[in-house]
Every structure is written in C-alpha cells, then in structure tokens.
Amino acid sequence: MILHTLIDYDVLRLIWWLLLGVLLVGFAVTDGFDLGTGILLPFVGKTDVERRVVINAVGPVWEGNQVWLILGGGAIFAAWPQLYAVSFSGFYLAMFAILTALIVRPVAFKFRSKREDAGWRRAWDMALFFSGFVPALIFGVAMGNVLQGVPFRLDDSMQIFYEGSFFGLLNPFALLCGLVSVAMLVMHGAAWLQLKTQDAVADRARRFGGIAALATVVLYAVAGVLLWLYIDGYHISSAIDTTGPSNPLLKVAETQPGIWFANYQAHPWTIAAPAIGLLGALGAWIGLCKRRELFALLSSTLSIAGIVLSVGASMFPFILPSSLDPRASLTVWDSSSSHLTLFIMLVCTAIFMPLILMYTSWVYHVLWGKVDEQAIRDDSGHAY
C-alpha cells in the first residue's frame, strides 16, 4: 500500500483548508500587534524616548513573527496553486504595496536611531506608521473582495484571466472590511503595548486601544449586517465530488443573497467564530480599561482569531469565488494540489510546525518583561 493513501484525499483537502486558517490566524495574531504598534507609534509616543520605547516593545520579535507570513504564502503556493495564481496575479498591485510596506519597515527599524537629527527620526517614524497602516488596510480590503467575488475566469485549459483593476478593489464594502482590519490590529497593538510599556505610553495605548476595540465591534457588526442583506454569496448547485480532480469547471455554482450565512444555520457550532470575534473585542476593551494586561492581550488574540475564522466558516467550501463566472470559483474540493503533494506537506508540517512553535515560545519567554524607559535613555543594550 502506498503510504499517502492511508489518508483519504478529501480528508487531506479539509486538513489543509484548516491549516491555511491556522496560518492566517497565526500571522494576524503575531505580526498583527507589530502592525498595530506601528500605527499607534505617532499617537502614543510624544517624545523621542517614548517612541523608542514603543519601537523596542516590538523590535526584538517582529522578524520572527514574519515566519507566519512566509509559511502562509508557501502553503498557498504548494497546497492551493490555483488560489496562489489568481490572488498573486489579480491582486498584484495590492501585493506590491504590502511588500513595499513590509520592506520599508525593517529599514525604518534599523536606520531610525542612526542619527540624532529630529527630522530624520520623524521621517522614519512616519515610515513605520505607514508600513503598519497600509498592510492592515489592504489585508482587510482583500478579504472584503474575496467575500464579494473576484473578477476572474478560467478557460478550458485552466488558463486564468483576471479582468479587474486595482481601484476596482477599493469598493465601499471592501473598504469597510479594511477599516475592520485596521481597528482590530490597533486594538491588538494597544494590548501589546499595555503589556510591554509603562506610565504615559501605556496610558495612551489604553485610551486609543479602547476606542479601537469598540470600533472593531461596531464595524465588524455593520459589515456582517451588510454581508447578510446586500452581498450575494455563492453555493454549489451540482453534485459535489470531494475526491475529484482539481478542475473547478466541473461543478455548477450560483450566487444567492444571504447564502454566506447558510453554514451557520446548517452547523450552529460555527457561530462560535463571529461570537468570539465580537466578545473578544469587548473583552479587550474591558482589559484595557481595567488595566488587565494579559486578559486584554488574550481577548484581542481571540477576537482576531474569531474574525479571521468567521470568513472561512461563512465561505466554506469556497476559497476564492469568481464574480465573472461562478462555475470557475475555487473551492476546497477542486483547487488543491495532488493527493501525494498534500500528504508530503502534511508530514513536513507535523515535523517542523512544533519546532517553530517551541522556538517562538522560547523567544517570547526570554524577552518577557516591560521595556524600561531609563534603559532606553541610557541606551544600554537596546538596538533601536
């Protein structure tokens, strides 16, 4: 018996759909507080020393957090090649903007304190702000467009044709989702700063974070209502072959108003995802107001996980719907790599994922504790 046949093809597809969700949550949670901290930098740091405190709150860990972005991109490339092809070609300019921001961020970290000039440092502070704000906004805008359907089609040879434009992505619902993403990550960054800083910086982080937490609740709820009332969802109207070939054109798919909420009716336990998203944001607001540091960070983490997972729960089994030809929409069952490829990737993940988690946990344990403002003034052992 060939080893990979021990796990059925449909089970492997489902496992990799779940793992993709885990990787997206891992990136949003870990790199999310980096991005949120960058957005908050001009508002919580009023002096040069205070801004250095903010930067050093994430400076030692931000590079490690990028691992989740690399893992997510690699997983999409290997497990869902058609998803990778459509998203990275159709969203090319958006991806370019994100990558530019992510490239500017390490340069800003390294160069900011190389000169004493105030103008020099302000310029890099603004670079850190935009390198946090731009990815946070665009990631949310991308999710908003995915929920509405992306303008692509496939011909009989599986060649992809994307017929949208960059500015077409900036529609009202997608921008609303972008604001949800920004508010969510600002809330998370504020919870991190409350944990890692003291005095005035922590107080300002609590104030802005509390506002962001309430904004997350309101904006996420509004987006949910609009999705239910005005955004057409997608469903498969033909027979579903969960172990069939990776050919999206073999199915029949249609659009229907409010269908993105059908999974919550069919499987009530999935309501836990949006509920955790809302309750987590409220918990983060309470934790920030009551100065409960770990509670606020845990709550914001749960909120991010719930909000991200609610997108997957709503859309399953769709991964990337097509607004031009619903039949070409990519689903869990018809856009994956081969049975053998998914199995080999699963074995590698089972080996290396625990190592990454253990190493990451060890790093956070070693770097635990608050950033000391006096140590920043003395410049003793701080790189930023």
Quick check: helix, strand or coil at residue 234? strand
How do the domains of the chain map onto residue ranges? 30-378
How many whole angstroms separate alpha carbon 243 and alpha carbon 8? 8
DSSP annotation of 383 reads -
pTM assigned to the model: 0.93
For residue 314, give the amino acid letter: S
Sequence length of the chain is 384
Q: Which two tokens stand for residue 244?
A: 């069939």
- The whole-angstrom separation of Cα 202 and Cα 37 is 12
Instruction: Please tell me the distance from the alpha carbon of residue 78 to that of residue 294, in angstroms, as a whole number.
Output: 36
Three-state SS string over 266-311 comes to: HCHHHHHHHHHHHHHHHHHHHHHHCCCHHHHHHHHHHHHHHHHHHH
The pLDDT profile of the chain, 384 residues, written as one tens digit per residue, is 466 677 899 999 999 999 999 999 999 999 899 999 999 999 999 898 899 999 988 988 888 788 888 888 888 888 999 998 888 877 888 888 999 998 999 899 888 888 888 889 999 999 999 999 999 999 999 999 999 999 999 988 888 888 888 888 889 999 999 999 999 999 999 999 999 998 899 999 999 999 999 999 999 999 999 999 999 999 999 988 898 888 999 999 999 999 999 999 999 999 999 999 999 999 999 999 999 999 999 999 999 999 999 999 999 999 999 999 999 999 999 999 999 999 999 999 999 889 888 988 898 888 888 887 777 777 655 567
Rounded (to 5) percent helix, strand, coil in the chain: 75, 5, 20
Backbone angles phi, psi at 375, to 5 degrees: -65, -35
108-116 long-range Cβ contacts below 8 angstroms, 24+ apart: 109/55, 109/59, 109/62, 109/384, 112/55, 112/384, 113/52, 113/384
